[in-house]
Each structure stands twice: as structure tokens, then as C-alpha cells.
């Protein structure tokens, strides 16, 4: 029985996955490093510094730790500018309805995000108080596919892992949920990932909701 749903943020609740791409692209172009949307898929769910390492695989020279920190800082400054323009309209289709369905069934909800920008984003889209717990990149030391972020969210909610459903758009996030002993609904970019317990193109998929909760 599912007693709690733990949502990833970027690409599940809000369109910020595209803001991450645009900010990294601007940083990579500035350095003359090739970067495209296919490479960007590997960054989903992955921490800022680990994302940078993936981008630097295409660089034609080695970067010092200091340079890497400067590049990550630059990306985050571009990203913060992009997210300062977010509004409620950037909430992904089906999210609000899915949340109300959870609430009407007394299912607890949480955010489990790798991002250190999760809280300001939730504030901007007016959804901070919609969740019973928010665990983000500031609370964890291990990135997805490690289950730390979801395990902490389950603990904060006081719900056993086997009673939690994770919603993810990243393969690394799907693995994190499964590694934590939870069921996982894969949406968007991860919808084709065969390890997921359930799949849907988006949270608008009502049939998927019925399949998960009416058992």
C-alpha cells in the first residue's frame, strides 16, 4: 500500500530541467566545449559538480579544481537568473491534479531533489507549502543513484520505504528509488526506462494513477 509519494523536482514538478540545460550550454559554449541535449540527458538527477565532470569529458584540456569550481559557479549564476523568471505557469501538466488526488487519499507528499536550488524554485512557483517534507541537495552527501535523498524524505514523513512511491524523470533517480527499496513511477525522459515499476509520459496520465493507487 502506498502511504507517501516522493517527487523529484526538476523535470517532474517544474520545467527547470530545460533551465539546467540552457545554463550548462551557455557555460560550455563559453569554454568552447561541445555540449548537446543528448549529453544533457546524462546530467538528469546528477549533482552540479558531477554534471560538470560529464561535460568536461569533451574538453580538450584538463581543468584544475579551482577552475572547475569557477565553472560550476558560473553555471549556477546563469541558472539562478533563469529560475528567477519562473512562474506558476512553469509547473508541469498534471502535477497539481496528481497532488490533490494524493491529498484526498491522505497520502503524504515530499520533494526529493538533488538540487541546492529546490527551495527558491518551490517558492517561485508558489508550491513550497504543498509538500509535507522537502529534502534537497543541501541535505545529502551522496548523489542519485544513491537512495539517500529518498530515504531521508521517507524518514521525515515517518513512512516505511516499502510504502513509498518515487516519481522521477531521470534514470539515475529511478535507480535511486529502487535502491532505496521503493516503487518508482518513471515519467518524461525516463518513461522508456525498463527498470521502473510504473511508467507514464506525464502526470496527466489518469490510467497510470488508477493503476498505482487502486490496488
User: Contact positions toward Mg ion, by CB under 5 A?
Assistant: 8, 10-11, 169-170
| 44 vs 124, beta carbon nearer ligand BG6 | 44
| 126 backbone φψ class: left, alpha, beta (φ>0; ψ -120 to 50) | left
> Is residue 10 among the annotated active site residues?
yes
Rounded Cα distance between 144 and 44, Å, is: 10
Q: CA 112 → CA 25, 36, 179, distances in Å? A: 25, 26, 14
Catalytic choice (8, 132, 136, 169): 8
CA dist 111 → 30, 115, 129, 184 (Å): 33, 11, 11, 14
Binding of ligand BG6 at residue 119 (CB under 6 A)? Answer: no
CB of 144 to ligand BG6, least distance (A): 8
- Whole-angstrom Cα distance, residue 199 to residue 211? 11
Give the x-and-dash track for 144-183 against ligand BG6 (CB under 6 A). --------------------------x-------------
Contact 151, 159 (CB under 8 A): no
Residue 84 contacts residue 49 (beta carbons within 8 Å) = no
Contact status: 137 vs ligand BG6 (CB under 6 A): yes
Task: Quote the CA–CA distance of 200 and 104 in Å, as a whole number.
Answer: 21
Residue 109 binding ligand BG6, by CB under 6 A: no
Whether 36 is catalytic is no
Residues touching ligand BG6, count (CB under 6 A): 18
Q: Which stretch binds ligand BG6 (CB under 6 A): 30-38, 87-95, 109-117, 122-130?
A: 109-117
Bridge partners (DSSP) of residue 200 are 187
43: its cell numbers:
546530467
Q: 10, 17, 132, 205: which is the annotated catalytic residue?
A: 10
Among residues 5, 7, 13, 47, the one that binds ligand BG6 under rule CB under 6 A: 47
Residue numbers 65-94 binding ligand BG6 by CB under 6 A: 76
Residue 116 interacts with which of ligand BG6, Mg ion, none, CB < 5 to 8 Å by class: ligand BG6
Q: Given the rule CB under 6 A, which residues bind ligand BG6?
A: 9-10, 20, 43-48, 51, 76, 113-117, 137, 170
Amino acid at each position: 500500500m502506498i502511504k507517501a509519494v516522493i517527487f523529484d523536482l526538476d523535470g517532474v514538478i517544474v520545467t527547470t530541467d530545460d533551465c539546467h540545460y540552457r545554463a550548462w550550454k551557455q557555460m560550455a559554449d563559453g569554454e568552447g566545449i561541445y555540449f548537446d541535449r543528448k549529453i544533457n540527458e546524462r546530467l538528469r538527477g546528477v549533482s552540479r559538480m558531477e554534471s560538470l565532470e560529464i561535460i568536461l569529458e569533451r574538453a580538450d584540456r584538463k581543468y584544475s579544481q579551482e577552475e572547475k569550481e569557477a565553472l560550476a559557479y558560473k553555471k549556477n549564476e546563469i541558472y539562478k537568473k533563469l529560475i528567477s523568471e519562473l512562474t506558476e505557469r512553469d509547473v508541469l501538466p498534471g502535477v497539481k491534479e496528481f497532488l490533490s488526488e494524493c491529498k484526498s487519499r491522505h497520502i503524504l507528499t515530499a520533494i526529493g531533489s538533488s538540487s541546492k536550488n529546490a527551495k527558491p524554485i518551490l517558492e517561485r512557483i508558489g508550491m513550497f507549502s504543498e509538500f509535507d517534507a522537502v529534502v534537497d541537495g543541501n541535505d545529502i552527501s551522496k548523489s542519485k543513484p544513491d537512495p539517500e535523498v529518498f530515504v531521508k524524505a521517507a524518514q521525515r514523513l515517518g513512512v516505511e520505504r516499502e510504502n513509498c512511491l518515487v516519481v522521477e524523470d531521470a534514470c539515475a533517480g529511478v535507480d535511486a528509488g529502487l535502491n532505496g527499496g521503493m516503487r518508482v513511477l518513471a515519467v518524461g525522459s525516463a518513461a522508456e526506462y525498463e527498470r521502473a515499476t510504473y511508467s507514464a509520459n506525464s502526470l496527466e496520465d489518469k490510467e497510470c494513477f488508477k493503476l498505482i493507487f487502486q490496488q
